[in-house]
Amino acid sequence: MWRHRSRSREGWRDTVVEQGLVFPTTKMPDGSELPYWNEDAWYEVTMEEVEALEAATEELWAMCLQAVTQMATTMTDERLGLPPGSLGVVRRSIEADDPALYARFDLAYGADGSIKMLEINGDTPTGLVETGIVQWNWMEDVMPEMDQWNSVHDRLVAGWRKLRRSGHFDGDRMHFLYDLGEEDSYDGGEMEMTVHYLMDTAVQAGWITMAHPMAEVGWNPETRDYRDVHDEPLRNAFKLYAWEEMLAEPFGRHVVDQQESRPTRWIEPAWKALLSTKALLPVLWELFPRHRLLLPAYFDEPRDLERWVAKPLHGREGDNIRIHLDDTLEDVVMPGGYGAEGWVYQAYTDLPSFEGNRVVLGSWIVDGEAAGMLVRESDNLVTDYFSRVAPHVISDGLAPSEEQVAQWLAERVGPDAPSLS
């Protein structure tokens, strides 16, 4: 993997906004702006590297599904940092074989070819517009003859189509709900942007859709069901809203207490709550000790780790991360409001640094199959709100034909994709 400097396209900012990336820059605390979408550089990977990352992503996904079953049957809500009653909802979701759509691993890809799982966002991952649309269009503008590890868009459409035909959902209407945030908690439109992109892929798969903030969902005590902004019942709903937050609220307790007369079918399903807590990391290490794709991880204390990262169970975007590298150096401590729910300690691994840009790879899994990657750069040890996204190409891969793409989508993993059952 190599990093190359490049010249940004003229008018790149307007271009990526037109393609749906509504925050092309990041506002800094001092009021200045830095590019969030960074096309001053691009990354080169080989087909051999892509195949290694694909295989690692799908192996990790299978391991995570095994861990879900283990966590649901042997652990408690308190140990997992989940609201009381959550595991009951999770177990019912597993028993119902609720299908899932997508998730994103964060990987450290070393110069020696080693691949280590840092974590997974299995419930509310974002970054889809950057991966599926913006970096693909950049390649078509700048290097149209080349290829990219990126079947995210095609696999999302195929995934939604499979869900629509699965018989698991109640009709063909899907509500798309998101956390809009208020005042200081407003995320600049990331949730809306992601949800509306997902809604577009669902429409292409034949779903009838509607989107609005989660805060506009109501509860009808007479019919005992959730209602949308037009007082229509929510039969099927995609939510970009974390299960652990939803189940902790009075509104979400209707799910815990099984008060619904006709339960809403959710994407992502409730069992994804177990892929949204960092408690997954020590569980994986216990299930697969010394696995080449994992870093040692433990609950509550670093044990024998000399260099470690303390992660709050529900932390996001680097909030409250603590990095300990040496007893003679001061720990790196990030601010934030997480931690009361509990901690895990994971062995520290150096991120590859390209001219001072520390890189984390976001590796997507869609309908059980590896689907592409997103390169994020950071100036610091922690990948946080100020990280940048840069495009990539496969240097020894030429743009495939439509027939090749169709064949890859149909045959690569197919019916052998891992599942909970």
pLDDT digits (tens, 9 = 90+) for 174-233: 999 998 776 555 666 888 999 999 999 999 999 999 999 999 999 999 999 999 999 999
Number of neighbouring beta carbons within 10 Å of residue 402: 7
| pTM for the whole structure | 0.94
Query: What mean pLDDT comes out for the span 390-406?
Result: 85
* Residue of 125, 200, 126, 201 whose CA lies nearest to 157: 201
What percent of the chain is predicted at pLDDT more than 70?
A: 97
Q: Are strands 173-178 and 236-240 parallel, antiparallel or unpaired?
A: parallel
Mapped onto helix, strand or coil, the DSSP state of residue 392 is: strand
Percent of the chain clearing pLDDT 90 (strictly above): 80
What is the rounded distance in angstroms from the CA atom of residue 91 to the CA atom of residue 96? Answer: 9
- How far apart CA 342 and CA 182 sit, in angstroms, is 26
Structure tokens at 224: 């005992």
Partners of residue 393 on adjacent β-strands: 44
Distance CA 318, CA 321 (A): 6
Average pLDDT on 122-143 reads 95
